[in-house]
Amino acid sequence: MRDVAILGVGQTRFGELWDRSFREIGIEAGLGALQEAHLTSRDLSALYLGNMASGAFIDQEHIAPLILDYAGLAGHHIPAIRVEAGSASGAMALHQAYLAVASGLHDFVVVGGAEKMTDVPDTLAQAITSATADQEWETVFGATLPALWALMARRHMQDHGTRREDLARLSVLAHAHASKNPLAQFRNPISVEAVLESTPVAEPLGVLDCAPASDGAAAVVLGPLEGARRYTDVPIRIAASEVACDTMALQHRKDITTLEATVVARQKALKRSRREISEIPLVEVHDAYSISGLMALEDLGFYPKGRAAAALRDGEGAIGSRLTVNSSGGLKAQGQPFGAVGIAQVVEVVRQLRGQAAERQVSKATVGMTHNVGGTGATAVVHVLERAN
């Protein structure tokens, strides 16, 4: 297996993109990444696309060749492969693309993640995303994704003394960071009080504890690390790309305040990249809900179980602190096009490691981590990225 590098990244704005179609946003992100990598479409040998539910959102299946076609590549007859893993579709697509390049099967591959969620009414969007929970044993009884995460939050509060204010701090942080991100959906700062007073969704979670449903796309171009400087000044090496899974339904988990899938994926990723967690100053976690962001900080090993809240109270998580969490604004404030978030996390870390994060820059970061979850934790994907020497 050879080393794989990220040669270029691209991303659309995230938000309610009323006048942009799925094809348009997919192409914009992909072409942006290609241009950065100084590659032309002729150089590509495969396209991978992470997307959760195009059939439900825009009535279109078989979308990988669709994007290939509208990117002008149909005539090249290269493989176009769609990957689905709920909200982890993006990172899972990256994982598959990484394997393809690492194995030597393909040289240059574009990996995109895209979702267009605003073409259906809110209530339908909620039902579509809840289909990543167990339809026969959870949603049929009235469970929604926020309700399932709320069950975890309540137990986390019971077992570890976490309070709503602690959860709120993650949303506040996300918005503060997003205010410096021109691509973010929500750039307005918010307060802890605003989060606590926001309309209840599933107690203890309110509207401001929950990431939105968004439109958006992100893409990266991968190639062998060897020779990568022909294409980019700062190749970013994928030091680890690891996936772990767990039970589908929350009720079957060993401990509902821990995502074992995250724990195992992190352990494998640190082993593969030969790193300790303390070496990582920069992480993009899956903050679909404030509680999921909080649990991620513990399950990724940054803090012992039950102790992330105290760290956030001490100001950790902010850009420039000991650990920068979601400098992009995370799913909460940058936005949450389900299939795209896993790639967007990688785009942010790449920009940080290259020194291109402008007002969000974490100085001298040479390594970063991303964390993407599917459903309520049946899938977790962890990537470790480094500036190549």
Q: Where do contacts with another protein occur on this chain (CB under 8 A)? A: 123, 126-127, 130, 134, 136-144, 146-147, 150-155, 158, 199-205, 249-252, 256
Q: Where are the alpha helices (DSSP H) in the chain?
A: 22-36, 54-58, 63-70, 89-102, 122-130, 145-160, 164-178, 192-197, 260-273, 290-299, 308-313, 341-354
- The set of residues, in sequence order, having a beta carbon less than 8 Å from that of 69 and lying 6+ positions away, is none
Rounded to whole angstroms, how far apart are CA atoms 45 and 77? Answer: 9
Q: Name the amino acid, one letter, at 281.
A: P
**Which amino acid appears at position 25 of this protein?**
I
Q: Which is nearer to another protein, 159 or 314 (CB)?
A: 159
Q: Which is nearer to another protein, 30 or 146 (CB)?
A: 146
In angstroms, what is the minimal distance from the CB of 308 to another protein? 19
Using alpha carbons, list the distances in angstroms from residue 289 to 36, 161, 220, 338, 373: 32, 18, 26, 13, 11
Of residues 52 and 152, the one with the C-beta less far from another protein: 152
- Quote the distance between the C-alpha of residue 219 and its chain's center: 12
Quote the least distance from Cβ 338 to another protein, whole Å: 18
Compare residues 159 and 279 and give the one whose CB is closer to another protein. Answer: 159
Question: What is the CA 162 to chain-centroid distance, rounded?
Answer: 24
CB 101 → another protein: shortest distance, Å?
A: 34
* Least gap, CB of 203 to another protein (angstroms): 4
**Considering the complex, what minimum distance in angstroms separates the CB of residue 377 from another protein?**
14
Q: How far apart are CA 201 and CA 216, in angstroms?
A: 24
Instruction: List phi, psi (to 5°) of 64.
Output: -60, -50
User: By C-beta, is 200 or 304 nearer to another protein?
Assistant: 200
Q: Closer CB to another protein, residue 69 or residue 203?
A: 203
Least Å distance, CB 353 to another protein, is 38
- Nearer CB in complex with another protein: 258/324: 258
CB of 153 to another protein, least distance (A): 8
Residue for token pair 């946003």: 25
